[in-house]
Chains A and B, each alone.
Chain A
Amino acid sequence: MTAAVSKNLKDMTFEDFCRTVFDTTKRYDKPETLKGVRVISTTQYILGPSCANYLAELGAETIKVELPKRGEPMRHTTPFNEPFLYPLSRWMPDKGTGLGFFGANANEYFLSLDFHKPEAIQIMKRLAAKSDVFAENYRAGTFDRWGIGGRQHLKVNPRVIYQWMGGFGGWGPGRNRASYDILGQAQGGCFSITGWHKEYGGMPSKQTIWIMDYWGGAISAFNIMACLYWRDNVSGKGNFLEYSQVHGAQRHLTDLIALYGKTGIVAQRFGNWEPLLCVHGILKCGKSSYPNSKNPQEQEVGFCLVSAYKDEDFANLCKIVNRPDLAKQYPTHADRVGADAQTAIYPELEKWAADKTKEQVWEECKKAGIVSQPVWNSKEVSAQEHYHLRGSLAWIDDPTFGDVQTQVHPALMSETPPRCRWVFKPVGADNEYILAKLCGYSGSHIAELEQKEII
């Protein structure tokens, strides 16, 4: 189907039209965006791998290079050391890959290489010469020293886009510091504004995800695609990019930085309320939705966002909670949004929610046309037909691990949709394929490399 919409599609309701053009069961009938783009990813942890992963979901041939045998460290990271997907590799069938590896390595080809051996460096050079994108996150300058850095690759292959990703970057006073996602969050300012204020018993809080890593990977993937666009349509030239993990926090908090620069105000935590809008906060609902569950996660009381910042919505809300006096006391948004007013209004609303589950609060708000959204846990989200229908969450039949539930790239595209072909593969699963295809190695040569523990 092309942009010139057929008559049939023209007559459909909008909902049906969306269901048709975004139909996830038709994903494989459509081409992939980055078909023919080759990405070499010598990355570990989350930041670098996720960047390469997004490109792989969009159809790039992405080759992940990791150390032989044990693979990269995230394969050995899993919650409470319990869930694993087996096997780790054909050499270690009794070991599994931890779920920390999930979500950042889908659709990729897995090549194992020990960079400490000179033959491996030769292989890297051959791969880079045939690639469009080369992503790495070793300590800045390491690859340069080994002769496989941006400076060298760009000489051999001027069209390559070389993306370095890592903690503090290759230059500047902090360049030698080690970093992790949580350090980027802490020292970048993310902690300082998340959570309840001290007066409410709160403290600076971590975002539950490895946000600086995953977002850094996303912005890097966007930047790489912009570079590909410039290369293919304008200049024919490659590029060298450096993304420092700690940078993401400053980009995200840019409005608070502007506020600091102008007024000297240091933004503080405001818990589950919103400094910019009122009512637009998460209410504690007094009842658990699953009081009889054995899982403590489900025995917890519920929480539900209620958003009624417009005057008419607030008046409506006051009607539901049976407090018309509040509507009179705080008729305009300017009356409600001040800190004093907010701290007075929310406890009153929570009194109303005290004998309700989050679903009951949601229902009542929905009936009145007020925007609301319960706080869902991963089980409740997994059960939403909505996400499975749209394909952002999917059960896939993974070639190695069987039935797996996984997230899929969230961009819905009518003509060239992203897709998840496999969640990941064991260490070195594609050694033979990649080395034969890109380096022209014979079977016995590859076997010899394996014996010498180069791959």
Chain B
Amino acid sequence: MINLFKYSAPSTFYPLAGKLVPIFWTLAAILGAIGLYISFFVAPTDAQQGQGYRIIFIHVPASWMSMFIYCIMAFWSLLGLTFNTRLSGMMTSALAPTGALFAFLSLWTGALWGKPMWGAWWVWDARLTSELILFFLYIGFIALQAAIDDPRRADRAGALLSLVGVVNVPIIYFSVKWWNTLHQGASVSLTKSPSMASTMLWGMLVMALAFWAYTIAVALMRARTIMLEREGNTEWVHHLPDVKEAA
């Protein structure tokens, strides 16, 4: 616990994050390469959807990430409101654009999958609509923070929005059970023949891990920049090797 609190100060977190960023970029590249290989060369052709089903290997991981990232933002927000730490708000802000990107990719790949399989780019179905709301929540969070000049107040307002909005995540997840939707249920892809199910599942899991590594890398990178932007007037920032190099 003492260690965790030590790293909750931007001055100690900044160099730690700087060491982690290249590690997670490397992981993302390796896992991404393996994931793409499985997606296109290991996973067999689907009996019903032919090659079109391969969109699953980015659609599902992107959708998972869009929900995970929102939950992590809500977690940091709760921490920030409870302990009033600067790092929490910085992490929440650093995650939001990546969450918005994955929500967008989920909708985009979903539209490109829906058109050939359902005959429609978009339907006002419970799963699709709740995911669209998630995308708007991310955009709303970013816009709200941008509209408030004082970063600490922007953090508190953003924290409230992300905590209220997190109720949407279980709605997305269970939407296919609670309502009659056109979107397939969560288990459909796993009930096909076992060999098929395992390569598909592995492809999705490896791609999801690649997206995780990507998210950690880009969010830590952005968190470091936010620290520079907000604490540019402090001594510890002026003594950073990065700042001295730039000067």
Tell me if chain B binds chain A.
no
Q: Which residues of A contact B (CB under 8 A)?
A: none
Which B residues are closer than 8 A to A by beta carbons?
none
